[in-house]
Structure 1
């Protein structure tokens, strides 16, 4: 399948209901509204194809950008490629569920994510913390520096309440992921969640706020027997 046939197929799979849902979450035109599961038959045919992924990502079309993440070859991508992708990720469904997911399968994942976390830019920070969530939820505990993850927990504890709104979600999820998926620091993460408490996040239009609470979600996961949980795959 080439670029034109993929775009035609994506357009034919679009649903108005999903398009409205994506747009309510921050997507903007162009967007077709394709269910992610509907992309699987195409991805099985194409498998990994980095040049095609680059073409699709460059369209600015949400569905094409999402599909680019599915067929990308993360190990063929450089730090500059990931910087280009994060610059094009204009809302969290791209930064956290396309770019961060793709980055988590690259050999340079931690160094790129560290840079984004330190950037102070909302969606880069969100993608950086999200990348660690994907990593910790998939790779063996032995692949991580315990002292580094401990320091990151401390950073979250000290800065989450004053961080950009979208970054708060990813930082909250980082505490949860360490508690459930990274056994060496389970207790430390539980203590961090309790120390942080509920985190207020304000909607984009500043009209309403809600509270997210890692501690509650950790307790629910433990009740389900999910301590040490690892995903087999990160991408679809």
Structure 2
């Protein structure tokens, strides 16, 4: 399949209701509104195809960009490639659920995520923290430095309440992901999450809300989910 054929199939799968949902979350035109599950039959035809992924991502069409993440070859992309994809990720559904997810399956994931976390740019920082969430939730504990993660928990504790909106959300996700999926630091993550307390999000909206990593960890404890790892990161 070439890019034109993929775009045609995506357009046929688009639903107005899904398009409105994506738009309400920040997606901009062009987009078709394709449910992610509906893309699987197209993937069976394309398989992993980095050149096609690059072509689709460059269209600026949200659905095509999302599908690009599904068919990308994570280890076929360099740090510069990931930075370029982040440049095109104009809202969190691209930064955290396309670029960060793809990066999480690459060998260079931690070094790129570390750079993004230190960037000072909201979506890049958010993607960096999100990448660690995907990594911790899928890779063996031995692949991580316990002292490094402990330092990251301390950084979250000091800065989360003053961080930009999307970064704040991803930091909160990191807190509970460490608590749930990285057993060696379960206790420290739980203590840190309790210290952080509720985190306010949506401050720019008429009514903000609070998210709480400590509560999420406790629910996982109750369900016996500590140590949870998923088999695959991408769809």
TM-score by length of 1: 0.98
Shift in Å, 1:46: 1.2
Write the deviation string for residues 112-170 of structure 1: whole angstroms up to 9, x where unpaired. Answer: 00000001100000000000000000000000000000000000000000000011110
Residue 52 (structure 1) aligned with residue 60 (structure 2)? no
Cα RMSD of the aligned pairs, angstroms, is 0.7
Q: Which residue of 1 aligns with 2:216?
A: 217
Write the deviation string for residues 30-61 of structure 1: whole angstroms up to 9, x where unpaired. Answer: 01000000000111221110000000000110
Q: Which residue of 1 aligns with 2:125?
A: 125
Secondary structure of 2:45's partner? Answer: helix
After TM superposition, list the pairs within 5 Å mapping 1:15-34 onto structure 2.
15-34=15-34
Residue 66 (structure 1) aligned with residue 66 (structure 2)? yes
User: In the aligned structure 2, how far is the partner of 1:225 from the partner of 1:46?
Assistant: 38
User: In the aligned structure 2, how far is the partner of 1:209 from the partner of 1:149?
Assistant: 30
Q: Which residue of 1 aligns with 2:91?
A: 91
Secondary structure of 2:200's partner? Answer: strand
After TM superposition, list the pairs within 5 Å mapping 1:148-187 onto structure 2.
148-187=148-187
After TM superposition, list the pairs within 5 Å mapping 1:32-43 onto structure 2.
32-43=32-43
TM-score by length of 2: 0.99
The answer for unaligned runs of 5 or more in structure 1 is: none
Shift in Å, 1:181: 0.2
**Aligned residues, how many?**
235
User: In the aligned structure 2, how far is the partner of 1:119 from the partner of 1:168?
Assistant: 15
Q: Which residue of 2 aligns with 1:235?
A: 234
User: In the aligned structure 2, how far is the partner of 1:45 from the partner of 1:199?
Assistant: 43
Q: Which residue of 1 aligns with 2:116?
A: 116
User: In the aligned structure 2, how far is the partner of 1:180 from the partner of 1:47?
Assistant: 32
The answer for unaligned runs of 5 or more in structure 2 is: none
Q: Which residue of 2 aligns with 1:103?
A: 103
User: In the aligned structure 2, how far is the partner of 1:179 from the partner of 1:59?
Assistant: 39
Write the deviation string for residues 58-95 of structure 1: whole angstroms up to 9, x where unpaired. Answer: 01100000000000000000000000001100000000
Secondary structure of 2:28's partner? Answer: coil
User: In the aligned structure 1, how far is the partner of 2:42 from the partner of 2:52?
Assistant: 13
Q: Runs (4+) of structure 1 moved beyond 6 Å?
A: none
